[in-house]
Amino acid sequence: MQPDEFRRIGHQVVDWIADYRERVDRLPVLSPVEPGWVRSRLPELNERGEGFDGLLADLDATIVPGTTHWQHPSFFAYFPSNASLPSVLGDLLSTGLGAQGMLWATSPAATELEQHLLDELVGAMGLPDRFRGGGVIQDTASSAALVALLAALHRSGTWRQSGVDGTETVYVSTQTHSSLAKAARIAGLGEDAVRAIAVDPVTQGLDVDALVRQLKSDVENGRKPVLVCATIGTTSTGAIDPVDAIADVCAEHDMWLHVDAAWAGPAALCPELRHFFAGVDRADSFCANAHKWLLTAFDLSLFWTAHPATLVDALTILPEYLRNAATESGAVVDYRDWQIPLGRRFRALKLWSVLRWYGLEGLRAHLRRHIDLAEGLEARVEADENWSLVTPRSLALLVIAHRDGDETTRRAMDAVNASGRAYLTHTVVNGRFAIRIALGAEATEERHVTAVWEALRMA
């Protein structure tokens, strides 16, 4: 494909994306196809290649019907995954440059733009100054949790040289994301090393007294406490752990404190919401996903650590073929040492596109609008005789259930999802089946929230 062909076909592709975004709200949110439907309609690989006309036709006929539409304004499931159009263009620019930013030398701009953005966001989000110089873009919060654990293990002993000794222990709550258990498995600790601490039955935040009791028992039995993960905005209910109190316990036991704010983290851009982040200034590491609520196309997770030297020392391996003058000078950052894989995409460019297009005030307005919509829905639920809040509203997430019980709640959710008008997911809280309504799609308006609420009430 020559540049003139790319220009012509590129216009077609951009037009297709623009048309798709204009009509996405008229499509069923949840794909209605049966397993195997998409594969049965895909063409065999051909020997000679073809133009893009056939591919675009297949997108319309097969791919779109087989897609659950995460950019739909009535997508209320899981958490938002905002691929704003400015970030799509930033991703195109990044891919067009085709840079591989594993070393500073392999793409100075990729490294230094990332450093600049992560340091600028420290101030914009009210994060502690000790995170400056310790920021890096990971692909997901799962990778952020894994590198935090590896750094914690390295700081705690001889992990890098001789591996774990079988006594290392990690502490989470029963509501912590499953990525922490997976990280422990990948790091060689095994799931038996993970202690799931009980939560407050009302707030669903980690019970610090229960954490203290578990630590006392583990230490008495020869265990080595390594890391505690506190969450600001759990996946199930949006619960917020008491980070400051957990930090006290970590200081007493010399444990690494990782704060997972994958969904809620962008809310720190709003000064009036920073009380939710009390204690983060004492964390060893912190992550927030730009690819959830911050309008940046998947995948892009913001990660900061107050101990970048520890992280780099835990992960660095320097074969001869990667040696170069810039690295040897010690004057540059090589982000290959801050992550699990060697290679890395120029992800910072799509984040930069978002920040340049919306500005910080535009991003704050985006976040505040969803919280306002959630507050309005909260008032409707509280005034309804048949529905109730299962947990307190958390920012733009509500967890609700029908007063008649689990089966009625489940039937209502299933009916809404089957209708194609909206997409909802569920959780279980204190044994009770509940529906999660996660607001956050860029195109969501009051009318979409009203429609899903009325659909639930009428189901």
pLDDT, tens digit, for every residue of 214-249? Answer: 999 999 999 999 999 999 999 999 999 999 999 999
Residue 432 lies in a domain: no
Residue showing tokens 């507050």: 375
Task: Indicate whether 94 belongs to any domain.
Answer: no
Q: Does 82 reside within a domain?
A: no
Q: Which two tokens stand for residue 398?
A: 């509500």
What is the biggest distance separating any 2 CA atoms in the chain, rounded to whole angstroms? 71
pLDDT surpassing 80 at residue 337: yes
pTM for the whole structure: 0.95
Burial of 329 (0-12, 13-18, 19+ CB in 10 A): exposed
Give the residue numbers spanning the domain of 289.
99-345
Q: Is the dihedral of CA 12, 13, 17, 18 positive or negative?
A: negative
Is residue 319 very low, low, confident or very high in pLDDT (cuts 50, 70, 90)? confident
Q: How confident is the model at residue 4 (pLDDT cuts 50, 70, 90)?
A: very high
pLDDT value at position 165?
Answer: 84
Q: Count the domains in the chain.
A: 1
Strands (E), 193-255: 194-197, 224-231
227: left (phi over 0), alpha (psi -120 to 50) or beta: beta
- Sheet with 224-231, edge to edge strand ranges: 135-138, 301-305, 285-289, 256-260, 224-231, 168-173, 194-197
CA 269 to chain centroid: 16
Average pLDDT over residues 407-422: 97
Q: Is residue 40 part of a domain?
A: no
Q: What average pLDDT does the segment 315-327 reach?
A: 89
**Residue 246 covered by a domain:** yes
Q: Is 57 helix (H, G, I), strand (E, B) or coil?
A: helix
Q: What is the pLDDT of residue 49?
A: 86
Q: pLDDT at position 157, please? A: 86
Q: What is the CATH number of the domain that holds 190?
A: 3.40.640.10
pLDDT of residue 11: 96
| In-domain check, residue 378 | no
Q: Write the pLDDT tens digit of every residue in 50-103.
A: 889 999 999 999 999 999 999 999 999 999 999 999 999 999 999 999 999 999
pLDDT digits (tens, 9 = 90+) for 145-198: 999 999 999 999 877 777 888 899 999 999 999 999 999 999 999 889 999 999
Please check the confidence at residue 9 and state whether its pLDDT lies above 90: yes
Determine the pLDDT at residue 161: 77
Q: Is residue 50 part of a domain?
A: no
Own/partner pairs, 108-115, CB within 8 angstroms, 24+ separation: 108/332, 109/346, 110/344, 110/346, 110/348, 110/349, 111/332, 111/333, 111/334, 111/335, 113/348, 113/349, 113/352, 114/335, 114/347, 114/348, 115/333
Residue 430 lies in a domain: no
Q: Which pLDDT belongs to residue 191?
A: 85
